[in-house]
């Protein structure tokens, strides 16, 4: 996978947005990348029973204020040695972000989420969900609750289910770790069928759980060998339980600086995100989460 040289960083001046800018700044320093700030000064027109128009002087005031705030962020980043471009767009947030990704040849989007309770409002029909659903490049979601800094990223956690949809995330995780000089921990969560059988008061077949564990160990060891051959320091962890809780717990134990995981994108992403492993992980993650959309 190509080196990350262009980071698109949407800003809306919120606390999560500030955390995302801090994260983008640290990555830019480690990777020698340029940060492209983009703010969408777009008025979400409500559904009203009559026509109305916002006076042009009011629009000009909004644009000027937005431009000033974006300029302040850019100057702060430049004072720390970062290469920065800045732009205020009249387009909708999703369109503005996607257009910036195309025009700036973006390699990674870094944007904030509100996390925990607020994430429900952020994801259901929101900018973040729509960018994750449609983005052609990886998207790093930075929860407001995440502990972020401009210190180098040293430990990445790659969550995998060994599916074809996870291959893009695997390649990104290895490339990202290599470029950052970071180690990689691979985690796989086994959702054992014990609870399924228990609900019918039937015991699972003898040896089934051991067979699942052995199969997972074989596959994760093969994957670790593949990663190691590419010069990345790698560890593995197999856990049992609900996937999102297991991934989050593993990230905390590993003191991971970021989690990398795959999504199926487009219409499939609705099933992946809404009430699923990815959404639950993003909601409670102690660190940023990079969602890599599958090419499937």
Average pLDDT, the chain: 84
Higher pLDDT, 296 or 54: 54
* Number of domains composing the chain: 2
pLDDT band, very low/low/confident/very high, at 164 (cuts 50, 70, 90): confident
Strands 6-10 and 34-40, by their bridges, are parallel
Q: pTM value?
A: 0.86
Closest-CA residue to 161 (of 244, 76, 67)? 244
How far is Cα 291 from Cα 141, in angstroms, rounded to an integer? 8
Residue 19 sits in the same domain as residue 93: yes
Residue 207 sits in the same domain as residue 251: yes
Residue 69 sits in the same domain as residue 129: yes
Residue 24 sits in the same domain as residue 140: yes
Residue 135 sits in the same domain as residue 8: yes
pLDDT digits (tens, 9 = 90+) for 37-95: 999 987 665 555 555 566 777 778 888 999 999 999 999 999 999 999 999 998 989 99
Inform me whether the pLDDT recorded for 107 exceeds 70. Answer: yes
Closest-CA residue to 225 (of 184, 267, 285)? 184
Residue 5 sits in the same domain as residue 142: yes
Structural domain of 129: 1-150
pLDDT digits (tens, 9 = 90+) for 17-31: 999 999 999 999 999
CATH of the domain at 205: 3.40.50.620
Residue 73 sits in the same domain as residue 174: no
Residue 21 sits in the same domain as residue 100: yes
Residue 6 sits in the same domain as residue 145: yes
Residue 178 sits in the same domain as residue 198: yes
Residue 24's pLDDT is 97
Residue 77 sits in the same domain as residue 197: no
pLDDT digits (tens, 9 = 90+) for 230-259: 999 999 999 988 888 999 999 999 999 999
pLDDT digits (tens, 9 = 90+) for 200-236: 667 677 677 788 889 999 999 999 999 999 999 999 9
Residue at a domain's end among 150, 168, 199? 150
Residue 138 sits in the same domain as residue 186: no
């Amino acid at each position: 996978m190509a080196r990350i040289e262009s980071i698109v960083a949407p800003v809306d001046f919120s606390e999560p947005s500030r955390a995302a800018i801090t994260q983008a700044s640290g990555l830019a320093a480690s990777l020698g990348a340029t940060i492209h700030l983009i703010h969408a000064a777009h008025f979400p027109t409500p559904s009203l029973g009559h026509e109305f128009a916002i006076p042009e002087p009011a629009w000009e005031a909004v644009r000027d204020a937005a431009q000033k705030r974006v300029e302040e962020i850019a100057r702060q980043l430049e004072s720390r040695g970062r290469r920065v471009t800045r732009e205020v767009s009249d387009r909708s947030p999703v369109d503005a972000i996607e257009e910036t990704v195309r025009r700036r040849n973006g390699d990674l989007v870094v944007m904030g989420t509100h996390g925990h309770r607020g994430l429900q409002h952020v994801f259901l029909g929101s900018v973040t969900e729509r960018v994750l659903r449609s983005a052609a490049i990886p998207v790093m979601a930075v929860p407001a609750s995440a502990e972020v800094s401009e210190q180098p990223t040293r430990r990445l956690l790659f969550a995998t289910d060994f599916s074809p949809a996870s291959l893009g995330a695997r390649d990104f995780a290895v490339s990202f770790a290599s470029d950052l000089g970071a180690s990689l921990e691979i985690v796989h969560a086994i959702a054992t069928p014990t609870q399924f059988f228990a609900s019918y008061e039937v015991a699972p077949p003898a040896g089934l759980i051991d067979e699942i564990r052995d199969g997972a160990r074989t596959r994760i060891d093969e994957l670790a060998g593949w990663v190691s051959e590419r010069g990345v320091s790698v560890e593995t962890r197999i856990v049992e339980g609900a996937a999102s809780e297991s991934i989050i717990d593993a990230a905390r134990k590993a003191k991971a600086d970021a989690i990398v995981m795959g999504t199926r994108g487009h219409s499939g992403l609705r099933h992946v995100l809404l009430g699923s492993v990815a959404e639950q992980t993003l909601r409670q993650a102690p660190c940023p989460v990079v969602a890599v959309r599958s090419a499937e």
